[in-house]
Chain A
Amino acid sequence: MLLIKNKCLRSFIRIFVPFILIPVITVAGALAFDEKKHIIIALAVAVSALLLFAAGFEKKSTGTRRMVIVAVMVALSFAGRFIPFLKPIAALTIITALYLGGEAGFLVGALSAVLSNFYFGQGPWTAFQMLAWGLIGLFAGILSEKLLGSRPLLLLYGALTGIAYSFIMDIWTVLWYNQGFDIKLYLAALVSAVPYTVSYAVSNVLFLFLLAKPFGEKLSRIKIKYGV
């Protein structure tokens, strides 16, 4: 990684390889060979993507202050998971990504998942939660200019990612339960998860509506005062 001099190219590779290349290769490979055991593939993709991302992050020199801000946001969203019914994790992940970039967003999402699962129960789903929340942050970072410019767009992004999160986690539930994908079970899972889906979307919109502006001001002050 250090051999590549161009910084843009380097960060491109750091994101491209774990999140695009590996999934594409493995899914293609899986389709070519055995259509059962999807779950192994899914878990392998999630874990290897996370590991590669971690390795890339380890090599990169990130400012200490940035890292600590990430830790603070992780702690805040962990604490937020104790609120009944409403879950601010995704909203906080998105806000962090908007002001500190996609990578910070990914970290906040992924680390909040591991950390809070120590309280709410670890399981094989941890890897998927990490990936799902992390990607929500990553894409928010990539889209940050647009999302910062328009509030309705930001709220829409919140709602969509809330629904998407629920859909992704249901795929995982079905894969795990059935060892292979079954559309009927998936639909059943989607229907039974409607209350959750709604609560994810609503919490994202609500918390983005309430928190985006004050958090933005505070993060901006920190950026000016300390040059993060």
Chain B
Amino acid sequence: MRSFSEYNPIVTAIWFFCVTGIAMFCNYPVLMLISLAGAIVFFIMRNGLSHGKTHLFFWILFAVLALANPLVSHNGKTVLFVMNHNPVTLEATLYGLNSAVMIIGVLYWFRSFTQIMTSEKLLYITGALSPKLSLILSMALRYVPLFSRQSAKISSAQKAMGLFSDDNIIDDLKGKSRIFSIMVTWALENGIITADSMEARGYGTGRRSQMRRFGFRGADIALLIASLLLFGITAAAVGTDSLSFEFYPALNAGAPDTLGILGIISYGLLIILPMIIETEVNLRWKYLRSGI
């Protein structure tokens, strides 16, 4: 019984890429709306009503993106009004709106993705692709806080020995640049020692294995298959033009055929999957707890 973020990172990542892939590469308005709505619900489900700044930023961006297209592009037949001798068309406006829905949706998805994919999971995924790169990333991740701590230590040590004894900006800047310089030396030197320590423990002597921290269980496989299946149906619907929507020269929406309708439903299901999982977990918990 695991919540969605505890599933195997590879499966979670594939799910994310299925969802955002459809959102990015197709411009069928219904799917875009599903994606945006799903993304917002998903984000709020994980974070509650906090992160007000994020929302604000996204919606300002939404307005900018939606307005940019009609002001720049003058394609389309239905002229709404004329501004600075340039026609502003209905088609371009709707097109801009659609793009904005898509982009903001994807941005929300990636925000949630960044929250779920902690560095440990990222390393697990890159480790499956390339253990060497994953190790470089993991070391770099460790160095960032290490450097900031060390440079704070060096500058306070220097302060206590009278380095910044003159109280003026020039002295400060000079001192800071000297500290930066020694920090780089320190970082490189320490890096070499780390490298030695790695070799001392057999790094690079042959094939590496990876300790498994994330199992591959039945539920993971089920989620994986479900994601791929739903993604497949949607992709087929998009790819075979069952879902076509033309903005230019004039709006032209063909009614979706059966495959098209299936595609829309599948995409909806794909997006609801994690929410289903969360709800199920909650219900199960309630049930199990009632037995305690």
Contact = CB atoms under 8 A, between A and B. Distances in A.
Chains A and B touch (C-beta atoms under 8 A apart): yes
Main secondary structure of the interface of A (DSSP, over half): helix
Interface in A42-81: 43, 51, 54-55, 57-58, 61-65, 67-72, 74-76, 78-79
A121 B141 CA distance: 16
8 nearest CB pairs, A to B: A75-B143, A71-B139, A68-B195, A74-B140, A72-B191, A65-B195, A68-B191, A75-B140
A40 B24 CA distance: 9
A68 B184 contact: no
Contact of B187 (A62, A72, A184): A72
A222 interface: yes
B96 to A, nearest CB: 9
A51 B140 contact: no
A74 B129 contact: no
B106 interface: yes
Interface of B: 20, 24-25, 27, 65, 68-69, 72-73, 99, 103, 106-107, 110-111, 113-114, 119, 122, 129-133, 135-137, 139-141, 143-144, 146-148, 181, 184-185, 187-192, 194-196, 198-199, 203-204
- Helix, strand, loop or mixed for chain B's interface? helix
Given A51-B129, A75-B144, A79-B144, A37 B25 contact: yes
Nearest to B188: A222
Given A64-B203, A178-B99, A184 B73 contact: yes
Interface string A158-193: 000000000000000000111100101100100000
A111 B126 CA distance: 12
Nearest to A185: B72
A40 B143 CA distance: 35
Interface residues of A, number: 50
Contacts of A26: none
6 contacts: A39-B25, A62-B132, A75-B146, A121-B107, A121-B110, A185-B72
